[in-house]
Amino acid sequence: MSIWKYANPTQFMKTTGWMLPFVSIAAGVCIVTGLVWGFFFTPDDFRQGSTVKIIYLHVPSALMAINAWLMMLVASLIWLVRRHHVSALAAKAAAPVGLVMTLIALLTGAIWGEPMWGTYWAWDPRLTSFLILFLFYLGYIALWQAIETQDIAADLTSVLCLVGSVFALLSRYAVNFWNQGLHQGTSVPVATGGRTVADVFFVPLVISMIGFGLLFVALLLLGTRTEIRARRLKALLNREMARDQDRQQPSRAAQNEGTQ
Amino acid sequence: MIALLRRDLALAIRAGGGFGLGLAFFLILCILVPFGVGADSAILARIAPGILWVGALLACLLSLDRIFQLDFEDGTLDLLATSPLPLEATATIKSLAHWITTGLPLTLTAAPLGQLMNLPPQATPWLVAGLALGTPALSVIGTFGAALTVGLKRGGLLISLLVLPLYMPTLLFGAEAARRGADGLDPTTPLLLMTGISAGCVALLPFATAAALRMNLR
Amino acid sequence: MMPDLGKYQDAVLSAYGGSLLLLIGMIALMIWRARSVKKQLEDVEKRST
């Protein structure tokens, strides 16, 4: 059977119900392993001293900040094309996680930057792009909160995500053009297959990255399940309210019929 | 289409239409910044291109929520949506009306206001050219933001949060062009890139705007 | 047990401390909301049957 069977909320809840504990535990194991290994059992860097240990938080969170937005983009497209509520709610659930990941990336970057570059902040292309990404997350979340009707909110936020993604890409190149920057190149360039981080740091870094990825999945599942329940809750409460109103004010039609 | 444009322009210019608001804000900003930053002419000259661009951006923001709000409230927007005129065209006309009443006046007053900010004379043509080519993008992007929030009671602040990040590429290139002009360097590259962004926005965003309007009118 | 972090001790510890605070805070909030919504849903579903 195809992946689309999970568009059915009941099927989604059933499957993710037993998946969630496993993913959470896997995430916990990887993160603890990665961070403990990185913090306690790696040497200091020649140039960066002990601050290199921040890499085990900074790189994974930055990676997830981007990936969360990409996932939201795909989920938004699926909602616009196939109208699966699970997809829209998954995008909604992913946003706060992406926001916090972006914040952690910015924070750890700033703390790392101070001893290394002499400043907490610099208008370097990569930092600036992350700050812009933070704003995009804020706007997306704010729009979801502002619109009453959830289906319309899903539609509008999906369009915002699409348009925002185009502009995020545009901004990336604009900012590169605007300021050349002092942030180092990618630590683990997947495309080129090369690597700029020394071996002794590499393995715990990868474990941390996997851990953060699993954490994102776990929180995504948790959040989507909550949103699905919340949607059902709202529908039931609305139905209750409508029933109560009917009981208090018997329909005008029935009254008119009596007088005629 | 022309009728719609004329109507929107008339509504904007009438009393209560908020026509002069953007301009007044732009003027006040050019007075406030020297007060805040100090009257050192060298510093003002350095920051003038940026301040003028940011001022134009913020002034554009002021009139965004009225692009669709009044029409939405009295039902005109529903009529426009069901009329033979495609909603994309309506969106474009609305953006054009907004540009004529906001972006265009800002572009025209930028040169004299630049004097308040001690803008170097060699930068002025590049600033004005940049604003002329960039403010259409600001209007089109702003119209998109207005369409997203059209149903909301106090969408003003939310529009700013949504639209300002989208304004950044235009701002970056436009201000860079003005700065390069000020330093005597060649500003054509950022200017062309910014024009490309404007052209892309004008051509493509109305489709997203129309989609957002349809979603809100359901 | 604690490695000698040298002169960067404050930086490294605050980075780890802040990040873990944010992560644990986010996880706790999400779990709290999940439980709250689940309970409310169960209550309403009980009422309607």
- Each residue of B87-141: pLDDT tens digit? 999 999 999 999 998 999 999 999 999 988 889 999 999 999 999 999 999 999 9
Which pLDDT score is estimated for A193? 43
Task: Select from A135, A147, A174 the Cβ nearest to the Cβ of B172.
Answer: A174
**Residue A45 forms beta bridges with which residues?**
A49
**Please, what is the end-to-end C-alpha distance for chain C in angstroms?**
58
Tell me whether residues A143 and B148 touch, CB distance under 8 A.
yes
Partner residues linked to A49 by β-bridges: A45
For residues A23 and A220, the answer to whether their CB atoms sit within 8 Å is no
Please report the pLDDT score of residue A81 as a whole number. Answer: 96
Within 8 A by CB and 6+ apart from A86, the residues are A6, A7, A8, A9, A12, A224, A228
Q: Which residue of C has its CA nearest to A51?
A: C12
Are A235 and C41 a contacting pair, CB within 8 Å?
Answer: no
10 Å Cβ neighbour count for A141? 17
Which among B217, B212, B5 has a CA at the least distance from the CA of B99? B5
What value does the mean pLDDT take over residues B33-56?
92
Contacts of B72 (CB under 8 A, 6+ apart): B150, B151, B216
A-B C-beta contacts closer than 8 Å: 71
CA distances from A78 to A144, A235, B38, B144 (A): 17, 23, 53, 22
Do B138 and B60 contact (CB within 8 A), yes or no?
yes
Dihedral-angle region of residue A53 (phi above 0 means left; psi in -120 to 50 means alpha; beta otherwise) = alpha
pLDDT over 60 at B53, yes or no: yes
Ranges of chain A whose pLDDT falls below 70: 1, 180-196, 250-260
ipTM, two decimals, is: 0.92
Of all residues in chain A, the one with the smallest CA distance to C27 is A219
Task: Give dist(CA B109, CA B116) in Å, integer.
Answer: 11
Which of C26, C40, C48 lies at the smallest CB-CB distance from A100? C26
What pLDDT, on a 0 to 100 scale, did the predictor assign at position A185? 57
Query: Which 24-43 residues of chain C touch chain A by CB within 8 A?
Result: 26-27, 30-31, 33-34, 37-38, 40-41
Shortest Cα distance from B135 to chain A (angstroms)? 16
What's chain B's average pLDDT?
90
- Record the tokens describing residue A47, joined without a space: 């140039």
Question: C44: pLDDT confidence band, cut at 50, 70 and 90?
Answer: very high
Which of B108, B102, B26, B23 minimizes the C-alpha distance to B67?
Answer: B102
Please report the pLDDT score of residue A176 as a whole number.
84
